Structure 1
């Protein structure tokens, strides 16, 4: 039982069979039919002109930022944004793009007044502010549809582009009970991770205009992301978006179940009503040695990432019975 992340899911049997029988070619030459079919289908599915299959969400975000911004430009984002905090500073190191992080509100949104104040004047002393990057979901929180509409209005008013780190955008769509295209409509570009909760072994998509994706494809090659017979991976990616989305509702329900169970344990503090998707954060009393508990759990083949707050993530490979076993083990250890 692995509660560290929804990236630990194993490919389904259907994915393994599709990968084994995938028709392939050289994708760098544009000859892989399975990759081409995935990219064409994904662009249509999400309401964009074009799509690019990439190795990871980190690469997709980096390509997304570098395709919007030139050297010396700046992008606005949240202080907790994955493409600012958890992607090794790639935009700055590889793209020479300056991040301008703004504190996230508790619900994951960013205050528009603070964003406006951070936009640099047209002056050669400053980096050129080109882009606002949002993340949905962010730390398990879903950005409201009304906020996305306001974000579109904001960037239009200030002549910026709008990018979505949509690593878990399908979790957001399921939580909002809406089609993912209704979220995508507000953005100039968007990423979708196929290996977070959706069970594909590898891969993310970058979506945007034809011109934008053509630029991203060139940068992907520069970064060493050109793959050859990548249809073996793309075959699983297509199934991730066509067969695995329904599982996310189960994951969300399981996360809520886990949250209510954790709230009843001594020393754990959280509000289960705040859980919107498949990620649960719980604060732990200082007198609890969460590292020692993690070691004990691992001996029972239950893997968690110790921290305070501690994060638990539900996914296809964690059942309701697994969650109950985790709660029972935690109760006995406490």
Structure 2
């Protein structure tokens, strides 16, 4: 026995359970009732991926993916990163160079609400959150009302406008984006798109991805969530922009080595999962119709893959729904007002969820609940965002 054996023995770890194969199969069944997981076929494809070092720009599959994404979105260059949050944070950090400055965005934007205060932490930027006057998406007039352009020393000049498409599953009209882009470019202001679910926009509208991306200086697009890859997003922009972003990615601790496996998962998702999103949208609309038939209020309609609902219209609260759904023979994972349908969501899961709502509503009605006239919803700001990323 070597003198160092006790040191190496203490480090040994076998994380593969004896029942791992069976456990994974169970997870693949469970995914039809919650969030998207990588499929067995995706893993089998990714197992053939190249070996290299992405930090030193020597990972063939990752380089191929980045070049493909740049072409797909009509940009000069792209960079693979771990998450949509990292992609957004790197984009803003790269665009912003010398404070003081501000970023203007929708008050519901993921970059503002759900990224752990990253804008303040990473860039020191002041955020100008704007409530859309139409209740759906920012217009040029909304931006003109709140943007800071003056040289007045009392104010913090806006250097980046950030938009999101989709936002809560709703599509941002391209003609309005173009109006905002023209205004921003005339004033030297950068325009970034959080396109985590831009794939849904392309499928629903039929617009090519490079057309959707053209008005923006930078764009982030995710491979996880709707496309079902285990991890990863891409940030696209000019060559100069991406070169600068790579330096920040390293500083953020985001440089990954053997990323070939992850790049292969992303490529599989683009090839096999992207085309499935049309059926996802159809299923989301079926879910919405089922809720309406039960008398449930819809607060955000199913334009793509999301439905926001308010069960208080039938006397129910979100906690009751989550508790009852979690006790089904095949439990459903639910949080707040946001219902997300993905390519692995089953018809059975939709039917079971509607069954939970129906049963609870009948119980409330039997107990004497009467829907009040002019009822105010019980969904809160936090309810809306609880299930995100």
Give the equivalent residue in structure 2 for 1:115: 143
Q: In structure 2, what is the Cα distance between the partners aligned to 1:271 and 1:115? A: 24
Q: 1:305 aligns with which of 308, 313, 334?
A: 334
Kept in 1: contact 2:223–2:269 (CA 8 A): yes
Q: In structure 2, what is the Cα distance between the partners aligned to 1:73 and 1:4? A: 43
Alignment of 1:172 onto 2:204: no
Q: In structure 2, what is the Cα distance between the partners aligned to 1:256 and 1:91? A: 35
Shift of the alpha carbon at 1:245? 1.1
Q: Mean alpha-carbon deviation: is it higher for 239-248 or for 163-172?
A: 239-248
Runs of 5+ unmatched residues, structure 2: 1-29, 362-389
Runs of 5+ unmatched residues, structure 1: none
Give the equivalent residue in structure 1 for 2:376: none
Shift of the alpha carbon at 1:3? 8.4
Q: In structure 2, what is the Cα distance between the partners aligned to 1:257 and 1:117? A: 38
Return closer, same or farther for 1:206/1:16 CA change in 2, 3 Å cut-off.
same
Give the equivalent residue in structure 1 for 2:105: 77
Alignment of 1:1-334 (within 5 A): 8-70=35-97, 71-106=99-134, 108-120=136-148, 121-266=150-295, 268-270=296-298, 274-285=301-312, 287-300=315-328, 301-307=330-336, 310-334=337-361
Q: In structure 2, what is the Cα distance between the partners aligned to 1:252 and 1:106? A: 24
Kept in 2: contact 1:259–1:271 (CA 8 A): no
Using the size of structure 2 for normalisation, the TM-score is 0.80
Q: Mean alpha-carbon deviation: is it higher for 99-108 or for 131-140?
A: 99-108
Kept in 2: contact 1:3–1:304 (CA 8 A): no
Q: How many pairs does the alignment contain?
A: 328
Kept in 1: contact 2:299–2:308 (CA 8 A): no
Residue deviations 1:58-90, cap 9 Å, x none?
000000111111232211100011101111110
Shift of the alpha carbon at 1:332? 2.1
Larger radius of gyration: 2
Return closer, same or farther for 1:318/1:112 CA change in 2, 3 Å cut-off.
same
Where 2:338 maps in the other structure, the secondary structure is: strand
Using the size of structure 1 for normalisation, the TM-score is 0.93
Kept in 1: contact 2:325–2:334 (CA 8 A): no
Return closer, same or farther for 1:78/1:4 CA change in 2, 3 Å cut-off.
farther
Kept in 2: contact 1:304–1:312 (CA 8 A): no
Task: Supply the RMSD in Å over aligned alpha carbons.
Answer: 1.9
Shift of the alpha carbon at 1:295? 1.1
Kept in 2: contact 1:54–1:204 (CA 8 A): yes
Residue deviations 1:248-275, cap 9 Å, x none?
1111000000000011124x11278x32
Residue deviations 1:76-117, cap 9 Å, x none?
100011101111110111211221111134563213223123
Question: Which one scores higher on RCO, CA 8 angstroms, separation ≥ 6?
Answer: 1
Residue deviations 1:3-43, cap 9 Å, x none?
897xx211123320122111121111111111111111110
Q: Mean alpha-carbon deviation: is it higher for 168-177 or for 68-77?
A: 68-77
Q: Mean alpha-carbon deviation: is it higher for 101-110 or for 245-254?
A: 101-110
